């Protein structure tokens, strides 16, 4: 700095330089080149039909689909049959038909059929990609096929400058997650691996990070001194439907708790990242997972809705849980002693996702009704779905001479539905090279380590009625921190 330059100008220059490091709206630094093709393995599968084609259609509507899409699957389809499947997918997703957008999508899609074990499939895929040099390979297939496809891509030279999207679940336990990551990293560098969890693409989930660190009033109370407990509920009013075979292999603990709800815990509990970048955020989330105390059988209640064993592709003697509630502790300076209660289930009373940060009662009961035994102290409520809300509950005095009052919610946010679907947002980010909303290897393995013991050692699944809030035994987990907050 020259002798004439002022400290203020120097600080402004540093701020300008820092802003230039992160020009994108996400957390990556913008150095990744956009992909020039999307390869969709499992094109004829359920995930592609229900989620991926509607997402690609949404991108076409916004003028954001610029690359060819090459599908790969074992089924033999003519071009006409493929276009018909795409139209059916869009219609069943409830999207209004836009002929121009539909034409853009169908014109960009081509198809390669064959067995993933056949090297000729990858040779024909390479031909179908033509001059594309930076493809994104989306593995929307069972995890058991990941190794076969990744090996085939490498043998055909389709891994250079490419990215790969791995659909959850990322393994079934710590050992399998480590094995899966080792396979993926043997071909692709970590920065080219995108572990997709559609929950992270929801607007309300993204808002958790913003709400935490864009508001200075939260920091003084966001710790063990003022927070009594945290509850997170993700409930669904429907059953496993056509996914009985999948649920038999996964269950609620693997399907929802280990990924969706742990990610919410990470965003709520993490320390401020050092700077606005993917690596900084993932580092802090991984620290939270590593600080989680391993869950024991006493911390877990498993349930199964009545009638589950009669679902298609379900073992009539199945002990798989369709409901799970657990108590969690984070052994860190900020959260020591604060219990986190996580709950999710099928066929529950409503479909919703909500967080309740329960604050401690005032230290002195100055007013007779300031901490009634039958009501909660102040709390912060984050509604994640079906609508997004942030609310603060505080007591206010009633008019008159008496010092009595009521607890009221101050609604801070009531957002409209997402403009983009989670898959649309995440696909667009993967194509652009933005990893902000994707999970890291370290975070995935640290999360599995917390649950590894209870995946094997646990009590039997307790039957519960459809339309309830799960087995009554889950209430005992909360103890003095109860009752459960039931989203309405």
Cα separation, 331 vs 454, whole angstroms: 19
Q: How many CA atoms lie within 13 A of 204 on its CB side?
A: 22
Class of residue 3 by CB neighbours under 10 A (exposed 0-12, middle 13-18, buried 19+)? exposed
Cα separation, 175 vs 16, whole angstroms: 45
Cα separation, 84 vs 69, whole angstroms: 16
Class of residue 146 by CB neighbours under 10 A (exposed 0-12, middle 13-18, buried 19+)? buried
Residues 6+ apart with CB under 8 A from 486: 233, 349, 350, 469
Distances (CA, A) of 185 to 45, 259, 424: 25, 20, 26
Edge-to-edge, what's the strand order for the sheet holding 135-139?
109-113, 69-73, 37-41, 135-139, 163-167, 193-196
Consecutive H or E run containing 32? none
Please answer whether residues 64 and 430 qualify as being in contact, where contact means their C-beta atoms are separated by less than 8 angstroms.
Answer: no
User: Of 292, 94, 259, 34, whose CA–CA distance to 168 is shortest?
Assistant: 259
Cα separation, 397 vs 353, whole angstroms: 31
DSSP secondary structure letter of residue 387: S
Please answer whether residues 109 and 48 qualify as being in contact, where contact means their C-beta atoms are separated by less than 8 angstroms.
Answer: no
Residues 6+ apart with CB under 8 A from 433: 28, 31, 32, 33, 34, 35, 163
Positive or negative, the CA dihedral 369, 375, 379, 383 is negative
Q: How many CA atoms lie within 13 A of 475 on its CB side?
A: 7
Q: How far is CA 31 from the centre of its chain?
A: 25
The active-site residue, picked from 49, 137, 198, 260, is: 260
DSSP E strands in 52-159: the ranges are 69-73, 109-113, 135-139
User: Of 342, 344, 321, 322, whose CA–CA distance to 330 is shortest?
Assistant: 342
Task: Mark whether 178 is an active-site residue.
Answer: no
Class of residue 301 by CB neighbours under 10 A (exposed 0-12, middle 13-18, buried 19+)? buried
Q: Give catalytic residue positions.
A: 260
């Amino acid at each position: 700095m020259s002798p004439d330059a002022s400290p203020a100008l120097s600080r402004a220059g540093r701020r300008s330089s820092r802003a230039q490091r992160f020009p994108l709206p996400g957390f990556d630094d913008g150095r990744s080149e956009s992909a020039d093709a999307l390869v969709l393995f499992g094109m004829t599968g359920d995930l592609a039909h229900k989620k991926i084609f509607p997402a690609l259609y949404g991108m076409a509507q916004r003028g954001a689909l610029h690359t060819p899409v090459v599908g790969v699957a074992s089924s033999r389809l003519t071009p006409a049959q493929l276009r018909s499947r795409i139209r059916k997918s869009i219609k069943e997703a409830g999207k209004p038909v836009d002929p121009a957008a539909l034409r853009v999508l169908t014109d960009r899609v081509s198809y390669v059929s064959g067995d993933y074990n056949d090297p000729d499939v990858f040779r024909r895929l390479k031909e179908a990609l033509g001059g594309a040099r930076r493809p994104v390979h989306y593995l929307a297939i069972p995890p058991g096929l990941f190794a076969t496809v990744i090996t085939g891509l490498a043998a055909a030279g389709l891994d250079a400058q490419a990215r790969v999207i791995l659909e959850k679940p990322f393994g079934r336990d710590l050992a399998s997650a480590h094995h899966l990551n080792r396979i993926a990293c043997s071909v692709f560098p970590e920065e080219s691996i995108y572990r997709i969890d559609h929950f992270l693409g929801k607007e309300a989930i993204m808002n958790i990070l913003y709400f935490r660190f864009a508001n200075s009033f939260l920091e003084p109370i966001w710790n063990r001194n003022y927070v009594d407990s945290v509850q997170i509920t993700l409930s669904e009013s429907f059953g496993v439907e056509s996914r009985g075979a999948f649920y038999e292999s996964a269950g609620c603990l693997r399907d929802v708790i280990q990924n969706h709800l742990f990610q919410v815990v990470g965003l709520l509990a993490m320390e401020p990242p050092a700077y606005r970048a993917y690596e900084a955020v993932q580092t802090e989330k991984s620290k939270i997972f590593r600080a989680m105390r391993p869950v024991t059988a006493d911390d877990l209640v498993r349930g199964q809705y009545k009638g589950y064993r009669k679902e298609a592709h379900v073992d009539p003697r199945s002990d798989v849980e369709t409901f799970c509630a657990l108590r969690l502790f984070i052994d860190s300076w900020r959260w020591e002693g604060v219990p986190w209660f996580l709950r999710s289930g099928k066929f529950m009373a409503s479909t919703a996702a909500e967080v309740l940060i329960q604050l401690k009662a005032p230290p002195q009961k100055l007013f007779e009704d300031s901490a009634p035994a039958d009501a909660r102290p102040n709390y912060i409520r984050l509604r994640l779905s079906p609508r997004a809300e942030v609310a603060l509950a505080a007591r206010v005095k009633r008019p008159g001479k008496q010092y009595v009052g009521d607890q009221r919610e101050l609604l801070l946010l009531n957002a409209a539905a997402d403009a983009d679907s989670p898959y649309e947002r995440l696909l667009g980010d993967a194509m652009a090279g933005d990893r902000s909303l994707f999970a890291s290897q370290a975070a995935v393995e640290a999360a599995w380590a917390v649950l590894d013991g209870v995946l094997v050692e646990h009590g039997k699944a307790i039957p519960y009625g459809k339309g309830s809030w799960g087995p009554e035994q889950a209430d005992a987990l909360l103890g003095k921190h109860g009752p459960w907050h039931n989203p309405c």
